[in-house]
Structure 1
Amino acid sequence: MEIMTKLPSVKGPADWFTGDVWFDQIVPMNGTTIGRCNAVHFAPAARTAWHRHVNGQLLHVTEGVGLTQSRGGDVVVIRPGDAVWCPPGEWHWHGAAPDHFMTHLAIWDGLTAGQDGPETEWGEHVTDDEYGRRPA
């Protein structure tokens, strides 16, 4: 058994996020595991940029109200207890609703052996028009 001491909270970089976003690494990439898990805390209207994961990503909402969208799909409201599976290679974004905070667990396979490039590819920021589309 190994007890992993909690790491300090990290401010989400402006290249990846719009608004105030902080994350806590729950399962860091440390050579012991291939799984990764972060608790990601979004202030109202904060959100990720468009991005995709080579191995996919699972989001599990723990508190607040959020929004998510796959490229070409509708904006969808997500709430505590909801789990969202983003398949490998699917461009998507996620974040807090305009008037709520939102926290989710982001869970993904950080293994990149045999792959070209990083596990996560970041794209352009989600525009205010894209973010403001009425949820389905």
Structure 2
Amino acid sequence: MKRTLVTLALVLAAPAAFAQSMEITRHGDRGGDLGSPDFFTGTAFVAPVFSPEMGDVSAGEVTFLPGARSAWHTHPAGQMLIVTSGTGWVQERGQEKQVMQAGDVVWCPPDVEHWHGATDTTSVTHYAVQQAVDGSAVNWGTKVTDEEFGG
């Protein structure tokens, strides 16, 4: 009986012995870069929030200055946009462009071609969360033309 209790105590204590501590990455420590001109028009700043540490899920904080936007693109597992400040536009291919504002959450289904960014006069910041499939989280298409953006 005593041996069973000792074994049970060790089994129950084991998770605590191997537990990891929480980690805080401060906003200013995350860094970031200007969005590639191959995939963005105008000034977009992309800061990683977390890399694929959570089962191939990654997230980035993207700030678009007025007139800036992504190219047309799709995501094999879809994408969630969480708008944290400002006002921007999002558009699915073949549909009307829609306004997105701070507090909005936009779901872009898998393989649906879309773009998102600022309006012509306002900036917007959002978190973009997506999952990689076979090592890829995004498939880039053509750049959004000025006519498509302003139309």
Q: Which bin holds the TM-score, normalised by the shorter protein?
A: 0.7 to 0.9
- Residue 149 of structure 2: aligned partner: 131
Name the CA distance, whole Å, in 1 between partners of 2:24 and 2:39: 26
The answer to whether 1:108 aligns with 2:130 is yes
* Match 2:98 to one of 69, 76, 79: 76
Name the CA distance, whole Å, in 2 between partners of 1:65 and 1:8: 23
Gap runs ≥5 in structure 2: 1-20
Highest Rg: 1 or 2? 2
Alpha-carbon deviation of 1:23? 1.1
- Residue 23 of structure 2: aligned partner: 3
Name the CA distance, whole Å, in 2 between partners of 1:36 and 1:53: 12
Q: Residues 1-136 of structure 1 correspond to what in structure 2 (within 5 A)?
A: 1-3=21-23, 5=25, 6-29=29-52, 32-33=53-54, 34-110=56-132, 112=133, 115=134, 118-133=136-151
Q: Which has the larger helix fraction?
A: 2
SS in 2 for 1:93: strand
- Identity, in percent, stands at 39
**Structural RMSD (CA):** 1.4
The TM-score normalised by the length of structure 1 is 0.87
One-letter code aligned to 2:130: W
SS in 2 for 1:65: strand
Q: Post-superposition, which runs of at least 4 consecutive aligned residues in structure 1 deviate over 3 A?
A: none
The number of aligned residues is: 127
Q: Which has the larger strand fraction?
A: 1
Alpha-carbon deviation of 1:124? 0.4
